[in-house]
Each structure stands twice: as structure tokens, then as C-alpha cells.
Structure 1
Amino acid sequence: MKYAIMFIFDEKKDNYQVSVPDLPGCGITTKTIDLGLEEITESIKSHLAILAEYGEKVPNANSLELHRKSYMQENPYTFSQAFWAIVSIDITPYLGKSHKINVTLPELLISQIDEKVSKSGEYKTRSGFIASACFAELAK
């Protein structure tokens, strides 16, 4: 899943406040952008692990554009100081135990899925691709 993240530079403290609008309470303070990207990725994973531990659903990621427009309306003064990035997180480990199921699909569709998986670093397996497609459809 691709989560939008927001950086706001605090000149007085000489650091960045980094937050994830789709995950309330998930945020960090960091000195550099590069370090911030690494730290927020780990913070997101920790946040999702805690949600999974309590049996909570993984929150859907809204589009970056939606977040930008919303933030601009709610915080016009700090909007000019904010910049955005996207962090891609494999949410599979936070969805619970995996179960094997039998699925029947047309041969051509399976071939297209396998080709997409082999050419993409985003999907590691056919099952991962199908799970991502299902998750996207359920999020609608």
C-alpha cells in the first residue's frame, strides 16, 4: 500500500515533523529528509503491527492529491511549508494468518498476472498480486 507522508520543517528546532495522515498518531521528528523516509517507514510498520495485534483493520491509503487538497483547505498557512512523499508498505504481514484457497482463473489471465509479477518489484508472488488487487477493490 502506498501511504502519503507529509514533511513540515520547523525552523526554530531545525528538524522535520513527519506524519502519515492515513494513520493518525503515526509520526516522527527527524533531522534530515533521507533519515525521515527511513524512520517513517519503520514507524508505519510498527503502527500497523500494533493494529494487527489488537485485531484492527489496516487503514486504506487515500491519494496524495486528496491529502494535499484537504490539508491546504484546513491549514493554508503551513501548507506552503509542507511537502509530500509516498512510502510503499507491504501490508500482507499485518492482515493476519494466510490460508491456502483454490481459485479458478482463465489461463490467459494467469499468464498476464505472472508477466506483471515477473516485471514488477512491487509484487513478489502471484498470490501477492491477487491479494493487492482484492484489497484495492475492497477499498472502493
Structure 2
Amino acid sequence: MRRLRYIAFIHKDPDSIYGVSFPDMPGCISAGVTIDEAVRNAVEALSGHVRMLEADGDQVPSPRDFDAIMDDPEFTGDRNGAMTTVIPLIRDRGSTTRINVSFDLGLLEAIDAAARERGQTRSAFLASAARKEIVD
């Protein structure tokens, strides 16, 4: 399965937070106080939007490449003053799968200690770290 990534526009007006919109995903928007928060929230917004489209039996729009978005006259106003970024679609399937992975014992001990500090299970910590790595 190929990794789907959607172009997003990030806007910030004076005295406002950062707003995020997706040219290929009409109606999907997000925001954040910082750019990093806006991008993290955009990942969640994109996932939730796709989940709702699929639940309604609607087609999920395919992402276009950067040049196609930038050349589309429909988005001339949206592009004005916007920063662009790429947001990965991380599908939340609502079910977990048991897997077998191998780690160096010292790394595993560090993972478990960090998970305990955060009040997380090892699985939750690793999932959170993986999501962060995929987004960054």
C-alpha cells in the first residue's frame, strides 16, 4: 500500500492562529497556535475527515502532486500568502494488531522507562513515537 500524502496550505493572519486547509480534501480544515501544532492537528483532521467520508460511503479524493496544486487556478486565492506542506494520511482503523518486533535490550529498557514516565503502555508509547516520526 502506498503512503498517501496531501498538500496543505497554512495561513496565518496577524493576531490569529495558524489555519490549515487541504486543496484536495474540501471541507477538511485544522488549526494550531504554532506551525508544529497546526501540522499535528492537520494529521488528525485529515484522518478523521477520511474516516467520515468512508463511513458515509463517499469517495476519498486522491492527492495530487505539488505542481498540479500550484498550477490549479481554482486555488489562486488560497495559495496567496500561504505556506505549503505535505500531510501524511494516517488511517485510524480502530483495531489493534499484535506484532513481533526486536529491540536492543538497553533501548527496550529506555522505551519502558519513558512510557512509565508518561503513564503509557509500551505499545501506546511506540505508537505515539511512530506517529511523530511519520509526521516530522
What band does the TM-score fall into relative to the shorter chain? 0.5 to 0.7
Distance change in 2, residues 1:84/1:60 (3 Å): same
Task: Report if aligned partners of 2:47, 2:92 keep a CA contact under 8 Å in 1.
Answer: no
Give, as a single letter, the amino acid of the residue that structure 2 aligns with 1:89: L
Percentage of pairs with the same residue: 22
Task: Report if aligned partners of 1:27, 1:40 keep a CA contact under 8 Å in 2.
Answer: yes
Using structure 2 for the length normalisation, give the TM-score.
0.58
Query: What RMSD in Å do the two structures reach over aligned CA positions?
Result: 2.6
1:84 maps to 84
Alignment partners' CA distance in 1, 2:62 and 2:74? 21
Using structure 1 for the length normalisation, give the TM-score.
0.57
1:6 maps to 9
Question: Secondary structure, in 3 states, of the residue corresponding to 1:67?
Answer: helix
Aligned residues: 92
Alignment partners' CA distance in 1, 2:16 and 2:54? 34
Question: Secondary structure, in 3 states, of the residue corresponding to 1:40?
Answer: helix
Runs of 5+ consecutive residues of structure 1 not aligned to the other structure: 94-120, 122-140
Give, as a single letter, the amino acid of the residue that structure 2 aligns with 1:58: V
2:37 maps to 35
CA drift at 1:56: 1.3
Task: Report if aligned partners of 1:7, 1:17 keep a CA contact under 8 Å in 2.
Answer: yes
1:74 to 61, 73, 76: 76
2:97 maps to none
Alignment partners' CA distance in 2, 1:90 and 1:15? 24
CA drift at 1:72: 8.7
Give, as a single letter, the amino acid of the residue that structure 2 aligns with 1:14: S
Give, as a single letter, the amino acid of the residue that structure 2 aligns with 1:57: Q
Structural mapping, 1:1-140, within 5 Å = 1-11=4-14, 13-70=15-72, 74-75=76-77, 79-91=79-91, 93=93
